[in-house]
Amino acid sequence: MEKQSLSMNAKNPVSTELLQQLLNASDIGWWQLDFGKREMTCSPLAAELFGTDRTRITFDEVCLLPREEHRAQIYTRCAALKVTDTLDETFVTTNGNKCLQIKAVKVRTDPRTNTRTAFGSVRRVTSGTPESAELAAINQNYKAAQRNYSHLAQLIEHLPIGYLRINILRDKTDRAVDYLLSYINQQAGRILGIRTQDFTGKTASETGADPQESLPRFRHIPSGDSREHFWQAPASERICRCLLYNTPGDDDELVILLEDITEARRSEEQLRRAKERAEESNRLKSAFLANMSHEIRTPLNAIVGFSQVIADEEDAETRHELSNIIQSNNELLQRLIEDVLDISKIESNTLTFVLANHEMKALMKDIYSIILLRMPENVELRLDDCQPFTLYTDRSRLTQVLTNLLTNAIKHTKKGYICFGYDVTEQEIRFYVTDTGEGIPDDQLERVFDRFVKLTQWTNGVGLGLAISKALVTKLGGRIEVTSQQGVGSTFSVIFPR
């Protein structure tokens, strides 16, 4: 029978023109969706029914053929043809308000190009047919809902939260294989860091996402129920609170609401850090008072005690030694008070600077003359030869910083030398202080600029000099660095841009 049928067809071929005439006589148009080219071709009659004057239009134009309140459903059902082969929908057109029925006749995937195409028919549902009652009901419902839908669509588009509508796509075996991004409002695009027109109407696979990562979560939400979770958008790195809602009556359609909580999280983090800083500040204040109480009492006890002894001492040599001890503790107490005042000014941001152009070579010689008087035996002070250079800075504060570094080197150098100077490049000037002292352990390098840090408890001072130096250098627009090797020595560098 099959061969006979083929023979009869061969003997009595039906031309394409005749088939088209038969379709036209039946008021049936044909259309074809090409998912590879993302366009639709159709017959002239189909174009007339759809309300367009062209027989080849893009998917974006296809989306506009139904009236606004029907577009989402029709577009979703047509897009589902990427994985399914059934379509039977009725809708009203934008142009002409015609009620049309579209059906898919053949859906196939080209095995060579993997291109998906769908071929189908379109006809008008008119009075006098069995569908006339359905048409009347559709028109009545559409007219009643049209105004409300238009307002709702505008509201959703301009919501201050992100709104996405997705539709789960199933294959012939009713297995969920992908999902379609049916609608994305403006705020969702901003939160996700995407152009909505580049993603709306595409499946997850087409956007480069793996649908199987999200489908299990979507399927486990009962109809009319919702789930909430937190998520970070990969493109914009915005932190979102997501509400996934499974719309009643259609388990394959979900609405996702996105709330950008990045700023809220940032505020929470700032509050948390502020709380930690306040607690740390309170702890440091207590530690500061405890340290100051101890450090001030130490030189004061020496001054008071030896002052009483010296008054009763008759031996001149002993009186001289006691006088030196009192003088040394006076200087220690004076430095301590000056350091405390500097720390207070730095903390209250009331530290003032007197900026002017100063010749650095002359400054180095002045510092050398001051420090040379403090040098212990067995330690040599060296000033490297430096080229003349003028720097716009506060001379007094820069002198204080370099003096602190040299004083610190003297404390930790028992023999060898202490060398200082500066070198100049096209971008910066680097002051340095190098010693052959005991060096700093690697695990202590990050702590040396902290307050009240003394690597050896038997050295003089309270551990404020380097902390003050770093704060002064930072406020002058530079940076301070340290390199050290334990048992070999250390180098402190102060760097300013030219």
DSSP letter string, 260-289:
E-HHHHHHHHHHHHHHHHHHHHHHHHHHHH
User: What is the reported pLDDT for 482?
Assistant: 94
Q: Would the pLDDT of 251 be above 80?
A: no
What are the backbone angles phi and psi of residue 234, rounded to the nearest 5°?
A: -70, -35
Name, in order, each residue with C-beta under 8 angstroms of 170's C-beta and a sequence gap of 6 or more.
Answer: 80, 83, 84, 176, 177, 252
312 is written with which tokens? 């009763």
How many residues belong to the chain?
Answer: 498
The pLDDT tens digits of the residues spanning 433-480 come to 999 998 988 888 878 888 767 666 555 666 778 888 999 999 999 999
Q: Would the pLDDT of 485 be above 60?
A: yes
Q: Would the pLDDT of 496 be above 50?
A: yes
130 is written with which tokens? 């069995």
User: What is the reported pLDDT for 9?
Assistant: 46
The pLDDT tens digits of the residues spanning 275-330 come to 988 887 777 677 767 777 766 777 788 788 888 888 777 888 888 888 888 887 78
User: What is the reported pLDDT for 460?
Assistant: 62
Q: What is the average pLDDT across 2-24?
A: 54
Q: What is the average pLDDT across 336-362?
A: 85
Closest by CA to 182, choosing from 165, 204, 203, 199, is 165
Q: What is the average pLDDT across 253-260?
A: 89
Q: Would the pLDDT of 208 be above 90?
A: no
Give the span between the Cα atoms of 187 and 455, in whole angstroms.
Answer: 56
Q: What is the average pLDDT across 333-354?
A: 80
Give the span between the Cα atoms of 353 and 347, in whole angstroms.
Answer: 15
Percentage, residues of the chain above pLDDT 90? 25
Give the span between the Cα atoms of 403 and 443, in whole angstroms.
Answer: 25
Q: Would the pLDDT of 1 be above 50?
A: no
Q: Would the pLDDT of 171 be above 50?
A: yes
Q: How confident is the model at residue 130 (pLDDT cuts 50, 70, 90)?
A: very low
Ranges 94-98, 132-136, 169-173, 443-447: which has the least confidence: 132-136
DSSP letter string, 45-59:
HHHHHHT-S-SEEEH
Q: Would the pLDDT of 215 be above 90?
A: no
Q: Would the pLDDT of 150 be above 80?
A: no
The pLDDT tens digits of the residues spanning 394-432 come to 999 999 999 999 988 998 899 999 999 999 999 999 999
User: What is the reported pLDDT for 4?
Assistant: 39
Q: How confident is the model at residue 7 (pLDDT cuts 50, 70, 90)?
A: very low
Q: Which residue has the higher pLDDT, 63 or 295?
A: 63
Q: How many Cα atoms sit within 13 Å of 172 on the Cβ side? A: 3
Ranges 25-34, 100-109, 439-448, 449-458: which has the least confidence: 449-458
Q: How far is CA 84 from CA 22, 60, 210, 391, in A?
A: 29, 21, 19, 77
Q: Would the pLDDT of 10 be above 70?
A: no
Q: Identify the DSSP state of 19.
A: H
Residues paired with residue 241 on neighbouring β-strands, in sequence order: 230, 259
144 is written with which tokens? 């009643």
Q: Would the pLDDT of 72 be above 90?
A: no
Report the 10 Å Cβ neighbour count for 446.
9
Q: Would the pLDDT of 146 be above 70?
A: no
User: What is the reported pLDDT for 77?
Assistant: 82
Ranges 244-258, 293-307, 395-409, 483-497: which has the least confidence: 293-307
Q: How confident is the model at residue 196 (pLDDT cuts 50, 70, 90)?
A: confident
Ranges 89-98, 107-116, 453-462, 487-496: which has the least confidence: 453-462
Q: What is the average pLDDT across 190-204?
A: 87
pTM over 0.75: no
To 10 degrees, the CA torsion angle through 343, 345, 348, 350? -160
Helices and strands (H, E) in the chain, number of each type: 14, 18
Q: CA 466 from chain center: how many Å?
A: 35
**Average pLDDT, rounded, for the chain:** 82
Ranges 1-15, 177-191, 334-348, 401-415: which has the least confidence: 1-15
